[in-house]
Amino acid sequence: MTPLTATERAALLGIARAAILTRVAGSPPREVTLPAQGALAEARGAFVSVQVGGELRGCVGTFEAREPLARIVARMAVAAATEDPRFPPVEAADVSRLSVSVSALGPLRPLPDPLSVRVGEDGLLIRRGWHRGALLPKVAVEHGWTAAEFLKHVCLKAGLPARAWQEPGAELQAFHAEEFSEEPEP
């Protein structure tokens, strides 16, 4: 996984915003032009969060690294703005107050000692049965959580009991995320 440069981060934010604006305008999606190599062409997972006026209006992503990062970001941006079932879709009237955040993901890895999760560096994914929940690294920082609180909240997000991470059959994984955002409009 190649770390993203400032230029690549800016490009991904621009790709995400352009994909959202194109969708909101009702225009057909544009093909994302990719460099022949480099971080934007690497197959990686990503999450995109959309805020309107500082309030979350969508967050959608995938851990699957099946297509280039730039294309994943464009798809997840549109999904976050229009398909997150928790929020109404972003509309043209929202565009002036829109801000976008991208989390470019590293691979999932087992977490043999859950309390060793690195708050602020690791994100968490838990699965048990049909339950699944994930939290990005920035969520724990924003809330000031300890490792134990982070574990509790990823369980709750999955619809599981708070201590499900300690139960047999629970699969807990960590991941690295490069998280970056546009500056929100005043």
Q: Give pLDDT tens digits for 19-61.
A: 999 999 888 878 777 777 888 999 999 999 999 999 999 999 9
Domains and CATH numbers, the chain: 6-105 (3.30.700.20), 109-176 (3.30.1490.150)
pLDDT at residue 159, rounded to an integer: 97
pTM of the model: 0.89
Confidence of residue 2 (pLDDT cuts 50, 70, 90): confident
| Torsion angle defined by CA atoms of residues 162, 166, 167 and 170, in that order, rounded to the nearest 10 degrees | 90
pLDDT at residue 35, rounded to an integer: 74
Strand pairing class (109-110; 122-128): unpaired
Q: What CA–CA distance (Å, rounded) separates 6 from 156?
A: 35
Q: Tens digit of pLDDT for each residue in 119-143?
A: 999 999 999 999 999 999 999 999 9
Q: Tens digit of pLDDT for each residue in 76-104?
A: 999 999 999 999 999 999 999 999 999 99
Confidence of residue 4 (pLDDT cuts 50, 70, 90): very high
The answer to whether 174 and 124 are in contact (CB under 8 A) is yes
pLDDT at residue 184, rounded to an integer: 54
Q: If you ran DSSP here, which 8-state letter would residue 164 be given?
A: G
Helix intervals (H) in the chain: 6-24, 69-82, 137-143, 147-157
Confidence of residue 156 (pLDDT cuts 50, 70, 90): very high
Q: Look up residue 166 and give its two tokens.
A: 């300690």
